[in-house]
Structure 1
């Protein structure tokens, strides 16, 4: 179940994951993942205000149920940029999947394909674009680009991605330098497994590098001309990833962007930035259906997916949860994470009369202020107290009893 790369433990699991919700995976993965790797995933920058509020801000918006809709059997099937998908949930790019699983991005791609989801692999992936593509040849995939100061490196990355059949580029513009990630500093985290593009180009650089060192090689200056140049070199659609305002969305489209990704890097860059769901309406108004919109950062529930779609997104990306699923279950674990979100999303669709994802995009969402909106459920393990055991409340064993109740 565990493989060691130079002493670093990597999961070899490939199994479905039973779960009640995605949050519990973050607690369970600690049992199999080293502390530094865990906190590389499960942390944000500085005081982590944005990281926390990315999720809690979804509670600023409420889904209005609908009655007498005469509808059943909703479907999560959707189409995006000509690609037929089984879910509006997308696998957003994260570096170095090898910290979660021996097969790294190969396993993630297999899991995404099982679930019929779009997968975006990172410039800082452990596996090559050819290996990722071979894992699921018919599956759709994008490449996320950290623009390098070295355009020969950029040209190599874009050329290889196109030859491997990638369908689009996500240009990250919100990470010109690394955010101040205190958890990485406290655990002295460095990338423990080689990163393919750097191995090809620089003969192994990447393994043993800190996050800040890796970002130092990236371009600290990105402008409209870079978008145009990437489009010309790759011949692929280019999405600008890291847009948090209407003005930036307009500037991106004017530069030739084929899509917008509303993202604050999962709260890993500027601490104090607003939650993505709170700026989505402004960006959607500015875009005005000219190009598709993807939203990521903080998504943990099917209701979050529903709200994002209803407020202007065409796809909704997840990040940290699928890496926990990858560690706990490999390809099937990744698929399990997407299936859990689909399960919750379908309930919301049924209760609002939304038969299709297109219907969800026209659902009624309100913004009603509540004093406190981030309480966990009363059965959440973080607050749940031990249930009392008395003579009167115990279920007696019986071969004929099939109550479905829990026994102590």
Structure 2
């Protein structure tokens, strides 16, 4: 255990014996301090949208294809020409030092071990360069929370390019922080500095609540910002937080090279739709113009399958990975990805799909089951 400013961080480094990913939440709760755990697990208001994100996967059912003459499904895929061994990626998630002393560095190592794609947050516990250096041969994306200070944005984008980031994820659905009651109850303030804030001009994040952190972020984000970031970096810009076909097309028109369908895991606007429920209409509107990344509520291999069949090209998740990080460090992260890939491979076999391309063409049927 490492203690920083009175906050106890896990130092565990071990493979995990995982029954299923939902079971990790209670295990992680036992070792992550209350304030940190509340920040990680919590959603907005009464968590209605957070709960619906996972429940919504029951709105679509997989139609198995029998007599399909397949075995050993192939999970490999690619995005922007980057080869990947799994269609499951790490979503950008802030302050992973709340779960483990090595934070995003161990997450990057664990994701690299399975041949996956890592994305890191502006509000990471470790710097862009240090996270990349932890897994130097593995692809990473950088997620930008735009600041009101464009010089600060440029400094982050410059460092991301220098570190070899393959794309920029621009988050547009969090111009203010959602009303997160767990943080209020716990009077939560970040006990660990955020490396990217320390390096530049906005303080270090330590001792602040999430509302204070967001106060420095841009509340006004427009299509012009997408163009500006794309032109400044000459990297693909993926717009994250899209929940309607209209916004997807607007982002593409502004120069977005990718669409990221997400409601921020239910952490921002409570009362909005589950991300999976809006995915098919967005995919239909995008019509393969650019790749689509999807997250929010993913907990099973069958969820990954359904998201791919509904129009996603990659599927991301964060909370289960962070729980694995707390419980086992880089090896724990690796274990989480191996478990969801194992479940996905079983689903692909039983559904009669040999490749991820086959999954994308797999039929889904729809019926809204009662809870």
Q: Give the CA deviation at 1:204.
A: 4.1
Q: In structure 1, what is the equivalent of residue 197 of structure 2? A: 198
Q: In structure 1, what is the equivalent of residue 175 of structure 2? A: 176
Q: Distance in 1 between matches of 2:143 and 2:323?
A: 20
Write the deviation string for residues 269-292 of structure 1: whole angstroms up to 9, x where unpaired: 110010011000110011000000
Q: Distance in 2 between matches of 1:28 and 1:73?
A: 32
The answer to whether the aligner puts 1:125 opposite 2:102 as a matched pair is: no
The answer to whether the aligner puts 1:357 opposite 2:361 as a matched pair is: no
Q: In structure 2, what is the equivalent of residue 222 of structure 1? A: 221
Q: Distance in 2 between matches of 1:370 and 1:129?
A: 43
Q: Distance in 2 between matches of 1:309 and 1:10?
A: 35
Q: Distance in 2 between matches of 1:197 and 1:337?
A: 27
Q: Give the CA deviation at 1:102.
A: 0.5
Output aligned runs, 1:140-289, within 5 Å.
140-202=139-201, 204-289=203-288
Q: Give the CA deviation at 1:128.
A: 1.1
Q: Distance in 1 between matches of 2:27 and 2:369?
A: 32
Q: Give the CA deviation at 1:202.
A: 3.0
SS in 1 for 2:42: coil
Q: Distance in 1 between matches of 2:134 and 2:164?
A: 12
Q: Distance in 1 between matches of 2:261 and 2:144?
A: 16
Q: Give the CA deviation at 1:116.
A: 1.0
Q: In structure 1, what is the equivalent of residue 136 of structure 2? A: 137
Q: Give the CA deviation at 1:78.
A: 1.0
Q: Distance in 1 between matches of 2:294 and 2:287?
A: 15
Write the deviation string for residues 107-147 of structure 1: whole angstroms up to 9, x where unpaired: 11001101111011000011111111111111000000000
Q: Distance in 2 between matches of 1:135 and 1:304?
A: 29
Q: Distance in 2 between matches of 1:243 and 1:6?
A: 37
Q: Give the CA deviation at 1:369.
A: 3.0
Q: Distance in 1 between matches of 2:202 and 2:259?
A: 34
Q: Which has the higher contact order (CA 8 A, sep 6+)?
A: 2
SS in 1 for 2:328: helix
Q: In structure 2, what is the equivalent of residue 21 of structure 1? A: 20
Q: Distance in 2 between matches of 1:30 and 1:284?
A: 36
Q: Distance in 1 between matches of 2:131 and 2:24?
A: 25
Q: Distance in 1 between matches of 2:191 and 2:82?
A: 35
SS in 1 for 2:200: helix
Q: In structure 2, what is the equivalent of residue 4 of structure 1? A: 3
SS in 2 for 1:202: coil
The answer to whether the aligner puts 1:306 opposite 2:305 as a matched pair is: yes
Q: In structure 2, what is the equivalent of residue 396 of structure 1? A: none
Q: Distance in 1 between matches of 2:116 and 2:15?
A: 17
Q: Distance in 1 between matches of 2:201 and 2:193?
A: 11
TM-score, structure 1 as length reference: 0.90
Q: Is the 8 A contact 2:58 2:368 kept in 1?
A: no
Q: Distance in 2 between matches of 1:198 and 1:71?
A: 50
Q: Give the CA deviation at 1:203.
A: 7.2
Q: Distance in 1 between matches of 2:225 and 2:99?
A: 33
Moved more, 310-319 or 200-209: 200-209
Write the deviation string for residues 135-187 of structure 1: whole angstroms up to 9, x where unpaired: 11110000000000000000000000000000000000000000000100000
Q: Distance in 1 between matches of 2:130 and 2:333?
A: 18
Q: In structure 2, what is the equivalent of residue 64 of structure 1? A: 63
The answer to whether the aligner puts 1:335 opposite 2:323 as a matched pair is: no
SS in 1 for 2:125: coil
Q: Distance in 1 between matches of 2:143 and 2:294?
A: 15
Q: Distance in 2 between matches of 1:289 and 1:184?
A: 39
Q: Distance in 1 between matches of 2:166 and 2:208?
A: 30
TM-score, structure 2 as length reference: 0.99
Q: Distance in 2 between matches of 1:61 and 1:204?
A: 46
Q: Distance in 2 between matches of 1:48 and 1:321?
A: 17
The answer to whether the aligner puts 1:92 opposite 2:86 as a matched pair is: no
Write the deviation string for residues 298-323 of structure 1: whole angstroms up to 9, x where unpaired: 00000000000001000000011000
Q: Distance in 2 between matches of 1:128 and 1:72?
A: 42
Q: Distance in 2 between matches of 1:230 and 1:201?
A: 19
Q: Give the CA deviation at 1:7.
A: 1.5
Unaligned runs of 5+ in 2: none
SS in 1 for 2:3: strand
Moved more, 144-153 or 29-38: 29-38
Q: Distance in 1 between matches of 2:215 and 2:45?
A: 19
